[in-house]
Structure 1
């Protein structure tokens, strides 16, 4: 079973090496690693080029944003399952993809899987700041803005052709929309009770008041486009749930 892992990047020289090394360190042998760069102006391309022969496919060209780049990666993928590892994230350890493949082989009819991730400090990926657990996720929670952690999401490659790619007219929530769409179309999904990814704090969709507002507006739009009733007031109810989870820790 081949697993395609896609990293999209733009001016990611500060973190891209960590990401690449975490993929190349995986113990599972049948990995297709694809890097899609948006014509970076820093040292990103030269860093990626150091791994020539170890990265299956690498392109660097202008794009229409992160989701356009993800779609380019999906189009290049030939694996049975496809997932995204962002250019400032790393796998928790070298056994992540082996564990993923083991679960997929155990459930051959599954459409997609997901797991947990942890947020870490930008300058120290061993310093965990909080946990993003998918243990309590249920599809009915989508209407309140809850979703599984996208960096842990792996789906059958043919589902993208059947159900569509990431919508590039979203700025920060096309990943939410795609996963909501897959679920609303009846794709079977299973949780793997393990931590897959370390995600650096400070991503564009997790900081800043106005980005939060825009993100929530896109979540409402994504739900409505997929026949899921919600509104901004319902999305706002997510806040006390998150506060409660912090207090439990």
Structure 2
């Protein structure tokens, strides 16, 4: 636990506040990692632990991590099977009541953790909450704004489309106890697949506030096609859609992407 003697007076409202675990999976992210780490360590809310899982970077990523290692709860650098394998490694080390996943090229606003905690501890169903989401800014690589996204979780919409963004979400540790860790067979849509497991039993809440910036520039066409395939596989696997309908819609979606990218 990291302590801070100069917390604002309003922190007296939440003296028995939950512990947060923040996990960052990283691989060759020397360009943006320092600003990501700084945005987390400079949070106004201090009852958190920070875990970094590196996939065996070959650039200066390790030097950046080592610069902050005394402020990290745990870090490791070793080959992995992708982001969800790295997140699972982080979860295995996590001791927080709530878990957040922040990308190596993303940034949290300084009061992001406090906003979540304040919302959770004042929620009438706080002991039942599985998942809390917020709004985030999608930005280009230079942090220029593209759009603001994130909306209230509703099963009938979520079963058709991912309407939450991982950097703008908090996951209760109970969620992973009930539904398991991430499926490492997925490389892009594993966070969506995990949440689909709960179906309409997922207990959620929404914070109508921007908590983070997420870089989305440079998404390749290959990843767009892979994301489409994985998304429909996840829906079929968790009975959010039938096998026949899912495969049919997958074909239509790939055709839509092809037209958008190449025509």
TM-score band w.r.t. shorter chain? 0.7 to 0.9
1:85-116 CA distance string (max 9 Å, x none)? 0000001x211100111111112221210111
1:41: how far off? Answer: 0.5
- Residue aligning to 1:243: none
How does the TM-score come out when normalised to structure 2? 0.82
- Residue aligning to 1:246: none
3-state SS, counterpart of residue 87 of structure 1: coil
Corresponding residue to 1:140 among 132, 152, 156: 156
What runs of 5+ residues in structure 1 fail to find an aligned partner? 241-249
Give the distance between the partners of 1:129 and 1:167, measured in 2 at CA: 30
- Alpha-carbon contact 2:36-2:107 (below 8 Å) kept: yes
Give the distance between the partners of 1:18 and 1:49, measured in 2 at CA: 14
- Alpha-carbon contact 1:216-1:232 (below 8 Å) kept: no
Q: How does 1:1-249 map to 2 (within 5 A)?
A: 1-91=18-108, 93-107=109-123, 108-109=126-127, 110-123=129-142, 125=143, 127-135=144-152, 137-182=153-198, 184=199, 186-202=201-217, 207-229=219-241, 231=246, 234=249
How does the TM-score come out when normalised to structure 1? 0.86
1:148: how far off? Answer: 1.2
3-state SS, counterpart of residue 72 of structure 2: coil
1:209: how far off? Answer: 2.9
1:104-143 CA distance string (max 9 Å, x none)? 11122212101111111212x2x211121314x5211234
Number of residues of Structure 1 aligned to a counterpart in Structure 2: 231
Give the distance between the partners of 2:95 and 2:81, measured in 1 at CA: 23
1:52: how far off? Answer: 2.1
Larger Rg: 2
1:151: how far off? Answer: 1.4
3-state SS, counterpart of residue 45 of structure 2: coil
3-state SS, counterpart of residue 148 of structure 1: coil
- Alpha-carbon contact 1:81-1:155 (below 8 Å) kept: yes
Give the distance between the partners of 2:132 and 2:81, measured in 1 at CA: 28
Post-superposition, which runs of at least 4 consecutive aligned residues in structure 1 deviate over 4 A?
A: 232-237
1:66: how far off? Answer: 1.0
Structure 2 vs 1, CA of residues 198 and 128 (structure 1 numbering), >3 Å: closer, same or farther?
Answer: same
Give the distance between the partners of 1:57 and 1:159, measured in 2 at CA: 22
1:150-196 CA distance string (max 9 Å, x none)? 211211113213211111001211111112223x1612011111111
Give the distance between the partners of 2:98 and 2:149, measured in 1 at CA: 23
3-state SS, counterpart of residue 197 of structure 1: strand
What runs of 5+ residues in structure 2 fail to find an aligned partner? 1-17, 257-263
- Alpha-carbon contact 2:137-2:213 (below 8 Å) kept: yes
1:232: how far off? Answer: 5.6
Give the distance between the partners of 2:48 and 2:162, measured in 1 at CA: 30
